[in-house]
Amino acid sequence: MTLSSACPLCDGPGGHLVFQGPKFRLIRADEAGFPAFYRLVWTAHVKEFSDLSAAERRECMEAVVLVEQVLRERLQPAKINLASFGNVVPHVHWHVIARFVWDSHFPAPVWDAALRSAPAAEVARVESLRPALEAEMGRRLSAATSNPTAS
């Protein structure tokens, strides 16, 4: 990991580590009410997506797609939100968030004001699926990073 004392994504994992590869890691973010909120974090401290080489951009987006595919297959969410802001933390990372009609903010963005409370039973149901979900994410990302042309 490239260290930068001003960057929380360089100074630590940034959440529950799901996968660590040579160029990026996948973490589950600790966002209350959003049990399937992931971030794909590029290891090198680069500020903008265009700072990556064309090959790195393809590798990064293939990884984002793999995470999205597993979320869709395993959880059948109403929608997947993909975002790359970096306004607060200027370090390339992608948010990959499974959204459900029952979540506290749906259909509004997760950063908007809550519209309701997320039902504890639904959150717990998704949380119970995470071990298998994250194992599958790790398996697919590992396969893709060990054989980039297979993606």
The DSSP 8-state label assigned to residue 11 in this structure reads H
Say how far residue 149 (Cα) sits from the centre of its chain. 22
Band of pLDDT at residue 151, cut at 50, 70 and 90: very low
What class, spelled out in words, does domain 8-143 have in CATH?
Answer: alpha beta
Specify the pLDDT at position 5. Answer: 59
Q: 43 near 26, Cβ under 8 Å?
A: no
Instruction: Name the pLDDT band for 90 (thresholds 50, 70, 90).
Output: confident
pLDDT digits (tens, 9 = 90+) for 19-72: 999 999 999 998 999 999 999 999 999 999 999 999 999 999 999 999 999 999
Q: Using N-to-C axis directions, what is the helix angle for 54-75 and 120-146, rounded to 10°?
A: 140
| Average pLDDT of the residues in 102-113 | 96
pTM for the structure as a whole: 0.91
Residue 119: φ, ψ to 5°: -65, 125
Cα Rg for the chain, rounded, in angstroms? 15
Tokens 């960057």 found at:
7
Per-residue confidence at 6, pLDDT binned at 50, 70, 90?
A: confident
Judge residue 5's burial from the number of C-beta atoms within 10 Å of its C-beta, 0-12 exposed, 13-18 middle, 19 or more buried. Answer: exposed
- The whole-number average pLDDT for the span 102-119 is 96
> Does residue 94 surpass a pLDDT of 80?
yes
Q: Residue 32's CB: how many other CB atoms inside 10 A?
A: 10
